[in-house]
Amino acid sequence: MKKSALQVARAAYQPKLPQALQGPVKAVAGAATQSVGNQEEIKAMFPNTYGMPVITFEAGEAQAVEPFGVGIILSGGQAPGGHNVISGLYDGVKSLNPQCKLYGFLMGPGGLVDHKYVEFTDEFINEYRNTGGFDIIGSGRTKLEKEAQFESGIQILRELGIKALVIIGGDDSNTNACVLAEYYAAKNYGVQVIGCPKTIDGDLKNEQIETSFGFDTACKTYSELIGNIQRDCNSARKYWHFIKLMGRSASHIALECALQTQPNACLISEEVEQKEMSLDDVVTYLAQIVADRAASGDNFGTVLIPEGLIEFIPAIKKLIAELNEVLTDPATGESREFAGAEEQIAFVKGNIAPENLAILNSLPADVARQLCLDRDPHGNVQVSLIETEKLLSRMVATKLAQWKQEGKYAGKFSAQHHFFGYEGRCAAPSNYDADYCYSLGYNASRLIAAGKTGYMSIIKNTTAPAAQWIAGGVPITMMMNMERRNGAMKPVIRKALVELDGAPFRYFAAHREEWAKTTSYVYPGPIQYWGPSEVCDQCTKTLSLEQN
pLDDT in tens, 313-328: 999 999 988 888 888 8
Check residue 439 and give its pLDDT.
Answer: 98
Q: How far apart are CA 83 and CA 168, in angstroms?
A: 10
Task: With cut-offs at 50, 70 and 90, classify the pLDDT of residue 297.
Answer: very high
Q: Which stretch of 42-46, 209-213, 346-350, 527-531 has the lowest confidence by average pLDDT? A: 346-350
| 124 and 250 part of one domain | no
400 pLDDT more than 70: yes
Per the CB < 8 A criterion, the answer to whether 326 and 348 are in contact is yes
| 399 and 466 part of one domain | no
| 134 and 281 part of one domain | no
Check residue 380 and give its pLDDT.
Answer: 66
Check residue 386 and give its pLDDT.
Answer: 84
Residue 298: active-site member? no
| 335 and 206 part of one domain | no
Check residue 214 and give its pLDDT.
Answer: 98
Distances (CA, A) of 446 to 89, 100, 158, 192, 449: 9, 13, 21, 12, 5
Q: How far apart are CA 1 and CA 3, in angstroms?
A: 6
More confident call, 534 vs 162: 162
Can you tell me the mean pLDDT for 448-467? Answer: 97
| 164 and 187 part of one domain | yes
Check residue 527 and give its pLDDT.
Answer: 97
Can you tell me the mean pLDDT for 332-350? Answer: 87
Can you tell me the mean pLDDT for 507-531? Answer: 97
Domain assignment present for residue 10? The answer is no
Task: With cut-offs at 50, 70 and 90, classify the pLDDT of residue 268.
Answer: very high
Domain assignment present for residue 359? The answer is yes
Q: Identify the CA nearest to 473 among candidates 495, 496, 440, 434.
A: 440
Backbone angles phi, psi at 482, to 5 degrees: -100, 130
Count: domains in the chain: 2
Task: With cut-offs at 50, 70 and 90, classify the pLDDT of residue 330.
Answer: confident
Domain assignment present for residue 1? The answer is no
| 283 and 201 part of one domain | no
Domain assignment present for residue 13? The answer is no
Domain assignment present for residue 494? The answer is no
pLDDT tens, position by position, 4-30: 898 899 999 999 999 999 999 999 999
Domain assignment present for residue 56? The answer is yes
pLDDT tens, position by position, 472-495: 999 999 999 999 877 789 999 999
Q: Which domain holds residue 352?
A: 215-425+501-546
Instruction: Look up residue 203 and give its DSSP letter.
Output: -
Task: With cut-offs at 50, 70 and 90, classify the pLDDT of residue 331.
Answer: confident
β-strands 69-74, 55-59 pairing: unpaired
Per the CB < 8 A criterion, the answer to whether 299 and 409 are in contact is no
| 299 and 447 part of one domain | no
Check residue 377 and give its pLDDT.
Answer: 62
Check residue 289 and give its pLDDT.
Answer: 98
More confident call, 331 vs 115: 115
The secondary element (H helix, E strand) that includes residue 105 is strand 101-105
**Residue 458: CATH number of its domain:** 3.40.50.450
Backbone angles phi, psi at 437, to 5 degrees: -70, -40
The number of C-alpha atoms within 13 Å of 235 and in the hemisphere containing its C-beta is: 6
On average, the pLDDT of the chain sits at: 95
| 248 and 288 part of one domain | yes
Among 485, 513, 531, which residue terminates a domain?
485
Can you tell me the mean pLDDT for 277-288? Answer: 96
pLDDT tens, position by position, 25-57: 999 999 999 999 999 999 999 999 999 999 999
Predicted TM-score of the model (pTM): 0.94
Q: How far apart are CA 260 and CA 273, in angstroms?
A: 24
Check residue 461 and give its pLDDT.
Answer: 97
Check residue 364 and give its pLDDT.
Answer: 82
Can you tell me the mean pLDDT for 57-79? Answer: 96
**Residue 321: CATH number of its domain:** 3.40.50.460
Check residue 378 and give its pLDDT.
Answer: 58
| 539 and 445 part of one domain | no
| 247 and 208 part of one domain | no
| 116 and 48 part of one domain | yes
Q: What is the SS3 assignment for 136?
A: coil
3-state secondary structure 215-261: HHHHHHHHHHHHHHHHHHHHHHCCCEEEEEECCCCCCHHHHHHHHHH
Torsion 503-31-449-106 (CA) sign:
negative
171 pLDDT more than 90: yes
Angle at which helices 365-372 and 314-326 cross, to 10°: 40
Domain assignment present for residue 168? The answer is yes
DSSP secondary structure string, 367-412?
HHHHHHS-B-TTS-B-GGGS-HHHHHHHHHHHHHHHHHHTTS----
Bridge partner residues of 127 (DSSP): none
Task: With cut-offs at 50, 70 and 90, classify the pLDDT of residue 334.
Answer: confident
Q: How far apart are CA 232 and CA 8, in angstroms?
A: 32
pLDDT tens, position by position, 191-242: 999 999 999 999 999 999 999 999 999 999 999 999 999 999 999 999 999 9
- Helix, strand, coil percentages (3-state) for the chain, rounded to 5, are 45, 15, 40
> Can you point out the beta strands (E) in 137-229?
162-169, 192-197
498 pLDDT more than 70: yes
59 pLDDT more than 70: yes
More confident call, 419 vs 383: 419
Catalytic annotation, pick one of 91, 171, 172, 201: 201
Task: With cut-offs at 50, 70 and 90, classify the pLDDT of residue 145.
Answer: confident
| 447 and 507 part of one domain | no
Backbone angles phi, psi at 58, to 5 degrees: -130, 165
Check residue 1 and give its pLDDT.
Answer: 67
352 pLDDT more than 90: yes
Task: With cut-offs at 50, 70 and 90, classify the pLDDT of residue 189.
Answer: very high
Domain assignment present for residue 8? The answer is no
375 pLDDT more than 70: no
